[in-house]
Chain A
């Protein structure tokens, strides 16, 4: 049970962290100052959610008995094992390897252009909203509390990104071309959200209809069609990632790996 909860907490944390890191790449590069601030605010919310989740995962490990801790071994950061101190949230974010991450593939896809960024945010936020709503009813009080806190932020992300999808879809010829391209690229990565992994406490398959309804409503206003393809690219939930994740981690983790236990 505890291994399951530990893995699930990491999965939720990894989703938030990796998408937060991708959005943070816009810092100083947004199409307008206000939108630069908006996307990095969303990034800040996601990284804050990830911190709460990693801190909880670290507690689960530190409070487990010897046998319990041994069961977590495969997901623990290797460099940390030489530190001889309790596990901390930063170790989990900054020192695990690519195959130990459990995030959805959708969250790690390259940033590319603004259309790719806002569409991905919308597809993910609409899912995260439903997932966190369901999480509040799970038997784990700490995950329920994190979900209760985070969902208010997710509501903003969903609304902001939904507005952008409509603005670009029902906008100029250029904006429409770009969001259609983004949709073709990203749609095959949405199916993974609803394919429930063995460690998940919320059965995501049950969220699919309501997610599809939300997406359909926004796409109708954006004059976009739901792609016909039903192919679902999977692997992230089991640690099998696209080539993009390694590059993201190399950048994100370079400082703590170069200077272990650095503080600033």
Chain B
């Protein structure tokens, strides 16, 4: 008898294709996993950003991973509300990001704001200095901004709080 927890543990192997150190569970985009007594698996995921091109790949990777383990009856649906926030990222996920060289998102309540020309205090993932500056609010993927460390002079990605 397959349980919800069995399926969840398989999802741990499905990575974000653009940030391959993070599993989709770390990212907080898996909203629900249910298995009915007759073995039908239903997985609900939520997109990070509306136009995130990784979502289609993630849906396919989930399906492939489950098929590989012999599961056939799979339904994957997308749910928009409540809207995903970086606060749903696991503590483990944040640590993996930092080790990978991407500054993890600051907690939304304390740091996120909409004022113009306001920078967040972002710690450099290499030397931990907060002496950093924003290069651009938009980076290589929808979820990241570009920063520069003024102490170790390294430019880095910041997974912006959202």
Give chain A's interface residues, CB within 8 Å of chain B.
34-35, 37-38, 41-42, 44-49, 51-52, 141, 144-146, 148-150, 152-153, 155-156, 158-160, 162-163, 166, 218
Contact = CB atoms under 8 A, between A and B. Distances in A.
A148 B136 contact: no
A35 B135 CA distance: 10
A52 B138 CA distance: 22
Contact of B162 (A46, A144, A152, A218): A152
Contacts of B79: 145
B50 A159 contact: no
Determine the main DSSP class of A at the interface with B. Answer: helix
B50 A158 contact: no
B114 A149 contact: no
A141 B79 CA distance: 12
Contact of A149 (B83, B117, B136, B140): B83
Contacts, number: 74
Closest 3 CB pairs of A and B: A48-B51, A48-B50, A145-B81
Given A34-B135, A41-B138, A51-B50, 11 more contacts: A34-B146, A35-B136, A38-B138, A42-B138, A44-B51, A45-B50, A148-B81, A152-B83, A153-B50, A159-B137, A163-B116
Nearest to B162: A152
Contacts of A149: 47, 50, 80-81, 83-84
Nearest to A218: B116
A45 B142 contact: yes
A218 B47 CA distance: 32
A96 to B, nearest CB: 21
24 contacts: A34-B135, A37-B140, A38-B137, A41-B138, A41-B139, A44-B142, A45-B51, A48-B49, A48-B51, A49-B50, A52-B50, A141-B81, A144-B81, A145-B79, A146-B80, A148-B80, A149-B47, A149-B84, A152-B83, A152-B162, A155-B114, A159-B116, A160-B138, A163-B117
